Amino acid sequence: MSLLRSLLLTNPLIVLCTVVMGTISMAASLFDRTGHAQHRVARVWSRLLLRISGVRVRLAGLEKIDPRAHYVLVANHQSLMDIPLIMGNLPVQFRFFAKEGLFHIPFLGWHLRRAGHLPVVRENPRKALRVVHDAARMIRERSLSVLLFPEGGRAPVGMREFKEGAAHLAIKAGAPLLPLAVVGTRALLPMGSVRFRPGVVELHVGDAIPTSGLTLQDRGTITRLLEQKVAEMAGEAVSAQQS
């Protein structure tokens, strides 16, 4: 019964919501080139998606966020529900790195481009480095935060070792790293599933890790510290990257 409800009601409502809010985001982008209005639209879309899916959210540590600061936000990645969870509940303007293929999806891709989100480029190291430099400049010059999932993709179980891109970006931008832990989204929308399950998820915010005075040679050490903090908040074990 729950599968039928997802396929016949929840999924079509999510598609309709995405089309409507994507259209509003496109319209907003004609008047606001900063992406701020599109971010506010995306926050509404995220909250609607969570509500339609029957997801209840528990938050912890929001008081640790300085509204005047800008961060490199770092989270574990369990599910496609992670972005709506973070977008709908984190009270800061931020842009995020997303798979390049998502930028080609109608409505969603249009929003991602015009709102100023950043593509993950894996095949071209030179282009990937340029995107990181663009993100660092965005943080410094526009006082925006940037969100990354340093596992490099969703993990079917546990948590993968973090890659060093987030630490590299934070040191380059001179911004603190803010660890975030997502709990419970994997059970509600597992990898490969099209069924949205109702339930409870959690978003935990940790203490910021300053990068002032660090160099790129420190990125390995700071990555391991960041990984440890996220794993502790998420209650996950870290496994080595698969080759």
> Which tens digits make up the pLDDT trace of 117-139?
888 777 767 777 788 888 898 89
List the one residue out of 91, 85, 214, 223 whose CA is nearest residue 160.
Answer: 223
Q: Which range of residues forms the domain containing residue 59?
A: 2-239
Position 1 pLDDT exceeds 80: no
The rounded distance, in Å, linking the Cα atoms of 33 and 81 is 27
β-bridge mates for residue 74, sequence order: 148, 179
The rounded distance, in Å, linking the Cα atoms of 223 and 48 is 34
Q: Characterize the bridge pairing of strands 199-205 and 159-160.
A: unpaired
- Kindly provide the residue ranges of all beta strands, DSSP E only, lying in 3-71, ordered along the sequence: 55-60
Q: What is the CATH number of the domain that holds 83?
A: 3.40.1130.10
Total structural domains within the chain? 1
Mean residue pLDDT across the chain: 87
How far apart, in Å, are the Cα atoms of 12 and each of 106, 111, 194, 212?
16, 20, 11, 47
State residue 97's pLDDT score. Answer: 84
- Identity of the highest mean pLDDT range in 11-20, 102-111, 218-227: 218-227
